[in-house]
Amino acid sequence: MAYPVPEIWTVSGSLNKSGVPFSAGKVYADSLNIQGVKRALALFAPPIDPGMLVKARAMGLSIDSILNSANEKRSIYRFRVIVKLAVDMAKDACQMGRDLLAILEKQDAEQLQVFKAKCDKAVVAESKAVQEMEVKSLEAEKVRLEEKKTAKQNTSKKQKAMHLVSAAEKKYQKLMEKVAKIQETVEKVRNIASATFKIPDFKYGSVVNAFGGPRFDIESIGGTKLAENLVSAAESYASRFAQRQLDAAKTKLQAELERRKKEWTLEDEVADAEVVEVEKQEVVNEIKTQQVEKKHKSIENEILRSEQAYEVLSEKFTNNDLYIWLEKELGKVFKQYVKLLLDVAKMAERAYHFEIPDDTSKPYIQSNYWDSFYKGLLAPERILLDLRRMEKAYLENDKHRIEITRPILLFTNLTDPIVPDVNSQYVTVSKTDNSKVSEYVVNIRRSLFEKDFPYHEERFTKDIRLQVVAENETESYACLNAEVSLTSNPQFIGVTASSMALSEVGKFDFKFVDDKYSPFEGTLIENTLDLNLRLTGIDCITDLSTVKVIVFVSYTAWRNSNVQSE
């Protein structure tokens, strides 16, 4: 079963402006879109430079955004409204950039603080290792001092033992004492003998008879005895010399013993002093050991505090992870906001060029504001600068234009809509076949306006109004409705509708306080001004031949002084 395809889905239906089915050839010939606006279709797409794509990508742009911005329609709001919004957004973006920079600074500070905590922790750990090495060194020094003390004490004991008088020396002293006693005895005997030799020699004899018979003994005393006395005296002197020599040797030995005793005493004192010095070094080493142990405990406490500080820095809410998340998310929002700001700025530029027709080859708003290397922090300031430059140019170039309102009588009879002879050369009206409404296509040539003011140029429409006058005004107010649309505007379609078709236009009055453009404002009258006129409710009018249709075209223009002088 084949389902009917809706007319709007067909080529002719989608491009038809009035709902009346057209042929495909007529559609392409008219080049009208679904809104009924004439479009110039490009036969070939423009070439794309790959280098431009790379450059645009580096600046945070895409080819789609560039093409969309180039083909985007003009806004219905005036330049002052859009540029004010763009400036406010630029200020907000500047503040957002400063907030992003502050977050980056806080992130760097937080990372630096965490890094410092890690370094402090590492330094304290290394200090602990150094202190442990010092403790080991002091313990080794303590062992060395103890060994040194033991060695000194043993050496002192051995020296003291060696410094005592030996048994041989004691025996020598005793023998020397005995020799002295013997010599003293010999000397006494010799002295007695010497005293006996001093008796004179006498010869005497005696007869002794005892126990076996008589015996005769004769003795004499003489010079021999004197010689013997001299020998005895010499021997006495020799004995005295030997005694004195013995006394000298004994004195010498006694002196040597006393000297050796003093030396031994001094060596003992030195050894005792060295032992005392070692004991003092042990005390100093003990004090150093206690100090190092206290430092070791302090370092352990500092390590604990460093670990606690690192845990606090790592576990607190405003930690490095939060700043990384904020930098990432706010960076995304900031980039999207700058893109939105750029779109609004370009919208303001289009409104500027629409209101101030000047050279568009040098745009005020560029596309290279974003700097990916610096996260686009200065992009809002650059856009704000160009917006201010555009505002300055607007104040310099916003000059007052001539205002003209041209009434045009289309026809005086709805039954047979024929343009009066006075406008037949400049206006053509054709009726569209539609049983429900009365629809007319109106083409107004530029020559009509040139006939009035030949020295005017750059005519831009400001407003288009319609006046339908019937003989019976009551019928006009009761049921007659009218709709006028502008089909020759390539930017947008202007439509106005009214249920009060009978209205006196009066003075050409521009409402500059309005933030939006009027429906027909800004269309350049180049060759023809194409209008679409739709009238409804004409059934209630009794006599259509008395109905007049008048179009009032309000436009602005520049005066060409050269043409006027000619």
Q: Which of 293, 304, 292 is nearest to 120 (CA)?
A: 304
pLDDT band at 220 (very low <50, low <70, confident <90, very high): low
How confident is the prediction for the chain on average, in pLDDT? 73
Q: Does residue 351 register a pLDDT over 80? A: yes
Residues 530-545: tens digit of each pLDDT: 888 887 777 777 777 7
Residue identified by tokens 């779109």 is 343
Distance set, CA 54 to CA 61, 68, 150, 186, 382 (Å)? 9, 18, 86, 138, 22
pTM of model > 0.75: no
Distance of alpha carbon 401 from alpha carbon 521, whole angstroms = 14
Report the C-alpha gap between 95 and 97 in whole angstroms: 5
Q: Taking the CA atoms of the chain, what radius of gyration do you get in angstroms?
A: 69
* Mean pLDDT score, 462-469: 81
Question: Would the pLDDT of 244 be above 70?
Answer: no
Distance CA 270, CA 280 (A): 15
Confidence of residue 510 (pLDDT cuts 50, 70, 90): very low
For the segment 277-295, the average pLDDT, to the nearest whole number, is 78
CB 362 within 8 A of CB 403: no
Per-domain residue ranges for the chain?
10-39, 162-275, 402-565
pLDDT of residue 327: 87
Could you tell me which residues come within 8 angstroms of residue 439 by beta carbon, excluding any fewer than 6 positions away? 18, 431, 432, 532, 533, 534, 535
Q: Which stretch of 2-11, 238-247, 300-309, 515-524 has the lowest confidence by average pLDDT?
A: 2-11
Which pLDDT band holds residue 29 (cuts at 50, 70, 90)? very low
Tokens matching residue 411: 């026809």
Q: How far apart are CA 75 and CA 350, in angstroms?
A: 8
Q: Rounded CA gap, 30 and 39, in Å?
A: 9
Give me the percent of the chain exceeding a pLDDT of 90.
Answer: 9
Task: Pick the more confident residue, 402 or 229.
Answer: 402
Q: For 78-113, how does the pLDDT look when each residue is reduced to its tens digit (9 = 90+)?
A: 889 999 999 999 999 999 999 989 988 888 888 888
| Count of CA atoms in the C-beta half-sphere (13 A) of 374 | 10
pLDDT of 291-345, one tens digit each?
777 777 877 777 777 777 777 777 777 777 888 888 889 889 999 999 999 999 9
Confidence of residue 46 (pLDDT cuts 50, 70, 90): low
8 A C-beta contact, residue 93 and residue 279: no
pLDDT at 274: 78
Q: Does the structure show a pLDDT above 80 at 398?
A: yes
> Does the pLDDT of residue 143 top 90, yes or no?
no
Query: Is the pLDDT assigned to residue 383 strictly greater than 90?
Result: yes
